[in-house]
Amino acid sequence: MQINTNSDKPIFLQIAEGMEDAILSGAFAEESQIPSITEFSVNYKINPATALKGINMLTDAGIVYKKRGLGMFVKTGAVEKLKDKRKHSFYQNFIEGLIAEAKRLQISKAEIQAMIEGGFDK
């Protein structure tokens, strides 16, 4: 997980999305423990309040939960939930942009489909 301090994206959002990526990729399995606020803060040299804000986004979304005195854990079903969420935004984030750029470059629908198929086969 990388934090880019020069990015336009706020750091707490980068923390939340970075953890989502890590959970999706299986780096943190369901019911496994994720790093503590202190660890996030120390490793990325960010204010603990910032790290907390990022992790709270995941808590609010039901991705992770707190075990008293033990730390934060990935919720069962978190991966499914994240996949749903990501699929939902997939169209907005990628397809819309893809089509807009294709139109600017005058790439036809068929050409795009071919490209996608080619990309999948690689």
Partner 1 sequence: MSIEVKSITKYYGKTCALNDVSVTFDDNKIYGLLGRNGAGKTSLLSIISNRIFAENGTVAIDGMPAQENDAAIGRLYAMGEKTYYPESMRIKDVFKWTKLFYPQFDETYAKSLADQFGLKLNKKVKSLSTGFLTIFKLIVALSVNTPYLLLDEPVLGLDANNRDLFYRLLLEKYSNNPFTVIISTHLIEEVANLIEDVVIIKEGRIICSQAREKLLSDSYSVSGKIVDVDVYTAGKELLGCEVMAGFKTAYIMGQADYDNADGLEIAKVDLQKLFIQLTNI
Least distance to partner 1, CB of residue 48, Å: 4
Q: Is 56 in the site for partner 1 (CB under 8 A)?
A: no
Q: Is 41 in the site for partner 1 (CB under 8 A)?
A: yes
Distance of alpha carbon 18 from alpha carbon 115, whole angstroms: 29
Q: Which stretch binds partner 1 (CB under 8 A): 16-24, 33-41, 79-87, 96-104?
A: 33-41
Look-up of token digits 């893809």: 98
Q: Is 10 in the site for partner 1 (CB under 8 A)?
A: yes
SS3 category, 66: strand
Using the rule CB under 8 A, which residue among 4, 6, 92, 106 binds partner 1?
Answer: 6
Q: Please spell the DSSP secondary structure of 9-78, one letter per residue.
A: S-HHHHHHHHHHHHHHTTSS-TTPBPPPHHHHHHHHT--HHHHHHHHHHHHHTTSEEEETTTEEEEPTTH
Q: Nearer to partner 1 by C-beta: 17 or 30?
A: 17
| Binding region for partner 1 (CB under 8 A) | 5-6, 8, 10-11, 37-38, 41-50
